[in-house]
Amino acid sequence: MSEEPITSSLTIERDERLGKSWRTSSNRRRLGLGVAFVAMFVASLSMVLPFLWMVSTSLKSSKMVFTFPPQWIPDPIDWANYAEIWSVVPLGRGLLNSTIVTVLVVVIGTFSSTMAAFAFAKLDFPHKPLVFNILLASMMIPVVVILVPQFAIYARIGWIDTLLPLIVPGMLGNVMMIFFLRQYMMGLPTELMDAAKIDGAGFLRIYWSIFMPLAKPAVAANVIIVFMATWNDYLGPLIYTHSPKNSTVQLVIASLTAYYEEQTDFPIIMAASAIAVLPVIAIFVALQKHFVNSFAVSGIKG
């Protein structure tokens, strides 16, 4: 009986205090969110504006770019550049080559990477830790050290000026992706595998029918990353190919730039760049949900 008043007054006090702080923190939260929104909006604008400017420039005719003040919406909108590029440089050929290389590396490379990741994550075989550590160390070999000898090797076996140096190594897997996938697969329950073994399933079957479907988000991330890296690769094609018929789209744009820069004809360069950038952006936008999710689930901690 004597407790009640005390409790209730304490309760009232506490409620009041919480009530006040609830209101304040709610306001603070809104303000915080508002500030965050503005900041992110401005930052995103800075990310996207250059691309909009790229498209805008590509729709102008050559001389129009040299005007003050800068025009965002060209008047008139001139699609001519997009038509012209195809005849000036072998852009079609470049796109074809890029597609061939990228598709082969992504498709076959994904198999190689996922198989290796599965083996490292779930299987036991001799020298497993040793091999793993060596591969880890190999990631630290700077590209520049092996660039020249790789070139010499390819020259010896006649692969220079073909697409092979761009395809074959990638088809055998990607070490960084293997680590990423291994991390993810280690998080998948091993009991599934034991159950399948008892049922008499072979390891190939276990890999393909059980773990691959479960690892979909990570595999999707792998596909996007490798696709991007391969499509955007400039160094490889630069060093290993010569003739225009073996160029990838990145080289084609680079050569376009080299020539037209003298002419300072930026609209046509921008048009070519837009074409080169579009496929990757499209794929990214389509698959970005998987991409983000997979990072979260795999618990990347490094």
Instruction: In whole angstroms, give the CA distance from residue 201 to residue 205.
Output: 6
Q: How far is the CB of 5 from other proteins (least distance, A)?
A: 27
Q: What are the residues whose beta carbons fall under 8 Å from the beta carbon of 179, sequence distance 6 or more?
A: 117, 136
- Residue 80 or 135: the one with the smaller Cβ distance to other proteins is 135
Q: Kindly state the tokens that stand for 295.
A: 């990072």
Q: How far is the CB of 16 from other proteins (least distance, A)?
A: 16
Instruction: In whole angstroms, give the CA distance from residue 222 to residue 110.
Output: 7
- Residue 3 or 262: the one with the smaller Cβ distance to other proteins is 262
Only one residue has tokens 């020539």, namely: 259
Q: How far is the CB of 95 from other proteins (least distance, A)?
A: 12
- Residue 210 or 253: the one with the smaller Cβ distance to other proteins is 253
Instruction: In whole angstroms, give the CA distance from residue 250 to residue 266.
Output: 17
* Largest distance between two CA atoms of the chain: 98
List the Cα angle 157/161/163 in 5-degree steps.
Answer: 90
Q: How far is the CB of 207 from other proteins (least distance, A)?
A: 7
Instruction: In whole angstroms, give the CA distance from residue 60 to residue 271.
Output: 10
- Residue 76 or 156: the one with the smaller Cβ distance to other proteins is 156
- Residue 1 or 94: the one with the smaller Cβ distance to other proteins is 94
Q: How far is the CB of 100 from other proteins (least distance, A)?
A: 17
Instruction: In whole angstroms, give the CA distance from residue 72 to residue 70.
Output: 6
Q: Kindly state the tokens that stand for 84.
A: 């012209």
Q: How far is the CB of 1 from other proteins (least distance, A)?
A: 31
- Residue 4 or 63: the one with the smaller Cβ distance to other proteins is 63
